[in-house]
Chain A
Amino acid sequence: MPKGKNRIVGIKVVSAAGFRKALDSRARRVLGVSGAEFLKQYSSGSLGPRSLDRKPGTLELATMCFFTKDRSASKKPKRRT
């Protein structure tokens, strides 16, 4: 992740919460539902390939779901000293 000297001018790295805002913006624009609602439907497997192909932009929403994962959730807790 670009931090410190690896930071790239003109690019901002966002958290999972920041990315969920982007998903919400797109889901409302494309399907008229919230990002949380789309994520719930997609994660439950209720959106099959035909559903995803039906409306332009829906597959991109599916692609975005992967990036809503919170990496920090899988990190091991720091050892207390």
Chain B
Amino acid sequence: MPAKNRNDAHSNFARYFRESLSVVTTSTLKMRVVGDERALFYEPPIRLQRSAGDDLYLAVLQTYRVVGAGDGFKVSTTSYSYELLLKKGRELETIAEFHWHPNADGNVKWPHVHVKANSPEGALDRKHFPTARVALEDFLRFLMRDFEVTAILPRAKWKEILTRNKKEFVANASWLDYKPLIS
């Protein structure tokens, strides 16, 4: 539902975003405000709890602005980067990073994922595998399901948070269209 004013739209989005992250971390999320543009981020990456294996880290960068929507206001995402990293010795190495930056200077405008992996074709990390728009909530579920990242909230609670916030995200999305991802 659109917010009554710009400040409420901004605060609601930041609160939902932080709440979704609270499923896996208590780390303070940082925010930068420049004019109408805002960035929410974890950088340097934060450590995640995991049931087994080497330490995993999470880096997040979400940029957005508030726009008019009917009689009210809502948030419009301008870019995202959700990155999973592994600590090897003292170095952090990227495993996968989900990106979307339609307004940036580069040529890649579609949502995509980079995967740090080798193949018969060679290294894959410079390939831009197309994806749908990825919600933070889906990325967090991916980490818990496939990388044994441990939720720090009870199961019923985190499921409720991620389901509710993904629903809110989709309800306010203005990016669902039929256009080809790669033109």
A6 interface residue (CB < 8 Å to B) = yes
Which residues from A are CB-within-8-Å of B134? none
The one of A11, A64, A66, A71 in contact with B18, judged by C-beta atoms closer than 8 angstroms, is A11
Interface size class of B (residues with CB under 8 A): 35 or more
- Tell me whether chain A's interface is mostly helix, strand or loop, or mixed: helix
Nearest-CB residue, chain A, relative to B28: A12
Within 8 A of B (CB), among A1-47: 1-2, 6, 8-14, 16, 18-19, 22, 25-26, 29, 47
Q: Knowing A13-B32, A57-B97 touch, does A8 contact B105 (C-beta < 8 A)?
A: no
How many A residues, CB 8 Å from partner?
Answer: 37
Within 8 A of A (CB), among B90-115: 92, 94, 97, 99, 101, 104-108, 114
Which of B36-44, B139-147, B167-175 binds A? B36-44
Within 8 A of A (CB), among B19-69: 22, 26, 28-35, 37, 39-41, 43-44, 59, 61, 63
**In the A-B complex, the 4 residue pairs with the closest CB atoms:** A56-B114, A22-B43, A25-B44, A52-B106
Task: Write the residues of chain A forming the contact surface with B, with a CB cutoff of 8 angstroms.
Answer: 1-2, 6, 8-14, 16, 18-19, 22, 25-26, 29, 47-50, 52-60, 62-64, 66-67, 69, 71
